Amino acid sequence: MEWIQQLVNGISLGSIYALIALGYTMVYGIIKLINFAHGDVFMVGSFVGFYSIVGLGLDFFTALVLAMIFCAIFGVLIERIAYKRLRNATRIAALITAIGVSLLIENGFIFTWGPQPKAFPDIIANGSFEILGAKISIKSILILSISITLMVILQFIVHKTKIGKAMRAVSHDNEAARLMGINVDNTISATFAIGSALAGAAGVIFGLYYTKIDPLMGIIPGIKAFVAAVLGGIGIIPGAMVGGLVLGVIETFVNASGFSLWRDAAAFVILILILIFRPNGIFGKNTREKV
Amino acid sequence: MLSVKDIDVYYGNIHALKGLSLEVNEGEIVTLIGANGAGKSTLLKTLSGLLKPKAGTIHYLNSSIVGKPAQTIVKAGISHVPEGRRVFANMTVEENLELGAYTRKDKKGIAEDLAKIYETFPRLLERRKQLSGTLSGGEQQMLAMGRAIMSKPKLLLLDEPSMGLAPLMVQTIFQVIDDINKQGTTILLVEQNANMALSVANRAYVIETGRVILSGTAKELQASEEIKMAYLGGHV
Ligand SMILES: Nc1ncnc2c1ncn2[C@@H]1O[C@H](COP(=O)(O)OP(=O)(O)O)[C@@H](O)[C@H]1O
Ligand SMILES: [Mg+2]
């Protein structure tokens, strides 16, 4: 029952992509910006988790929460310092700024703390159990449970709370939202905070799963999560979740079928295929007017 | 209640309002008529804080609201139903109405006002769990007005509420406008349907290329030959 095992691995990996993809899609939904620095927030989250456990001796869950809080603040700072003044600028100017912020974080990090990879502490039991002849690791289940819990909380925030409703209103029609008395600046900041917190959580569980973290670790997962967001339909929250899971599973099966060298290429092949055949993604409406 | 003096509003180089002045007294329905592109929507957007005038003053209940952010103006009691309704199509009817009460904290009062709006617009009650994007134009207009009333405005700004609606629906909407006014809300009504607007209004301003060219009571304007020619489709 090798394939069940691979499916579980794929879903765990995919749930990490999904957590990152949510931040891309939420920020895109609200200010139409592809935040290329998002993968770096994920990296920072991983390092905050690492130092919380190794440096401060905290347990895994406290480290996870700390990384989320740190990244939430970090994400809001990025938005307030770099992006806010570009609200009315051209899209390309904002995009170039995002790439600049990404390079600044990566190189600033290397400059300050050095380029060496770190070994993420192995603080969760390495056990596994068997279901239907498939060996499922406790780590995969833990990763999956954390991701699902966070996504449920996110759904609750977006649909049931006042700030969530404000976020949806602003992303649909910024001007009409202002007429409701919604503070658009604060709503955008809240979106960055939530998206970045999810990326931070993804960073910590990624460290737990792959055990090696480094300052450039955010680039590839960042790009893949972006593909996942486009796959699901950029700007659509359930789309990011499904896109992440689909991508993780496809990638794992490509890997397991003996094409491990093609693993990273899978995401790009998918991206090209979506852009050709379904540019609005799985959940996107087929409207052509929105550019 | 509202006093606008000599405001100049620009979109980049386009000078949209040129030294425009007008007054709205408590309890009135004042209508603003004028051709497409005259600057009617621009004026409402300036009053609700979406645009900032380059010059001039706006006083509301004796305090200046020039340059204040939109959320402050909503809290102060001015609510704006924009041209084209602009309902949140991705949200349900009830969520739209709740967003109208975004600046309010009094849960009980909000629930009461919601019930009142459903009473005024029974159609919205039938469709409360439906996505507002699926409503007809008339229902969206009701929703946009209901949403604005949820903020408990003292002054309601309506931008072309009858646009694109069937005659029967236009009647309904104007009936509601009259009712809202009778319950104590002052109304500034922008309309291209000048006949209808003058029939409910107390006073009117006619604007052309960013300036007030004529003003008076609704009766005076209805009787004016000039207005009949230009806006009421009348023959001399
Ligand atoms: N967003 C905008 N950018 C540039 N010009 C605008 C914009 N909105 C309106 N205008 C211009 O301002 C003038 C007044 O427009 P508007 O207030 O919408 O007129 P009305 O509501 O009376 O039809 C018009 O000349 C219009 O072309
Ligand atoms: Mg207009």
Q: What is the CATH number of the domain that holds A245?
A: 1.10.3470
Tokens 């390309």 map to which residue?
A92
Taking the alpha carbons at both ends of chain B, their separation in whole angstroms is 37
- CB pair distance less than 8 Å for B90 and A168: yes
Residue A215 inside a domain? The answer is yes
Ligand lying nearest the CA atom of residue B11? 1
- A287 within some domain: no
Q: What pLDDT score does B232 carry? A: 67
Q: What is the spatial order of strands in the sheet that B55-60 belongs to?
A: B14-24, B2-11, B55-60, B63-64
Whether B42 and B9 have beta carbons less than 8 Å apart is answered as: yes
In this prediction, the residues of chain B whose per-residue pLDDT falls under 50 are 235-236
With a 6 Å cutoff on the Cβ, whether B233 touches ligand 1 is no
Which residue's CA is the closest to the ligand 1 atom numbered 3? B11
Lowest pLDDT segment from A58-62, A153-157, B146-150, B224-228: B224-228
At a CB cut-off of 8 Å and minimum separation 6, what does A96 contact?
none
Confidence tier at A246 by pLDDT (50, 70, 90): very high
Give the ligand with the smallest distance to the CA of B159. Answer: 2
Q: Is the CB of B46 under 6 A from ligand 1?
A: no
pTM: 0.92
CB contact under 8 A, A176 and B88: yes
Which pLDDT score, from 0 to 100, does residue B224 have? 81
Domain encompassing residue A121: 2-277
Identity of the residue in A169, A173, A179 whose CB atom sits nearest the CB atom of B70 = A179
Closest CA–CA distance from residue B100 to any residue of chain A (Å): 5
| Counted domains in chain A | 1
CA distance A25 to A147: 16
Give the C-alpha separation, A260 to A243, whole Å.
21
pLDDT at A128: 84
**Which strands form B186-191's sheet, in the order they lie side by side?**
B78-81, B155-159, B186-191, B29-33, B203-208, B211-217
**Structure-token match 């852009």, residue found:** A275
Q: What is the mean pLDDT of chain A?
A: 92
Measured CA angle at A28 (ends B73, B50), to 5 deg? 20
Tell me what pLDDT residue A288 has: 46
Answer whether residue A194 shows pLDDT above 80: yes
H or E stretch including A185? helix A184-210
Write the residue in B75, B82, B95 that is nearest to A179 by C-beta: B82
Q: How far is B131 from chain A (nearest CA, A)?
A: 13
Q: Is B16 in the pocket of ligand 1 (CB under 6 A)?
A: yes
Q: What are the chain B neighbours of A285 within 8 Å (beta carbons)?
A: none
What pLDDT digit, counting tens, does each position of A259-285 carry? Answer: 888 888 888 999 999 899 988 898 887
Q: Among candidates B89, B70, B227, B81, which has minimal Cα distance to B147?
A: B81
Nearest CA to ligand 1 atom 5: B11
Establish if A146 belongs to a structural domain: yes
For B95, the closest chain A residue by CA position comes to A165
List chain B domain ranges. 2-86+157-231
Q: Which pLDDT value is given to residue A97? A: 96
**Cβ(A176)–Cβ(A44) below 8 Å:** no
Rounded distance between C-alpha atoms, residue B94 and residue B127, angstroms: 9
| Closest by Cα among A241, A50, A233 to A153 | A241
Considering the four listed CATH numbers 3.40.630.30, 3.20.20.70, 3.40.50.300, 1.10.3720.10, the one that applies to the domain covering B2-86+157-231 is 3.40.50.300
| The token pair that represents A117 in the structure block | 């990879």
Which letter does DSSP use for residue B36 in this model? T
A180, A237, A283, best to mutate vs chain B, most B CBs in 10 Å = A180
pLDDT score at A137? 87
- B-chain residues near A176 (CB < 8 A): 82, 86-88
Output the CA angle B78-B81-A26, nearest 5 degrees.
Answer: 100
Res. A289: pLDDT tops 70: no
Beta bridge partners of A189: none
pLDDT at A134: 80
Q: Give the residue, by CA position, lying nearest to ligand 1 atom 26.
A: B37
pLDDT in tens, A3-56: 888 899 899 999 999 999 999 999 999 999 999 999 999 999 999 999 999 999
What count of other Cβ atoms lies within 10 Å of the Cβ of residue B20?
Answer: 23
| pLDDT tens digits, A208-223 | 999 999 999 999 999 9
User: Is residue A74, in this structure, part of any structural domain at all?
Assistant: yes
Q: Is residue A282 part of a domain?
A: no
How far apart (Å, rounded) are the C-alpha atoms in residues A273 and A276? 5
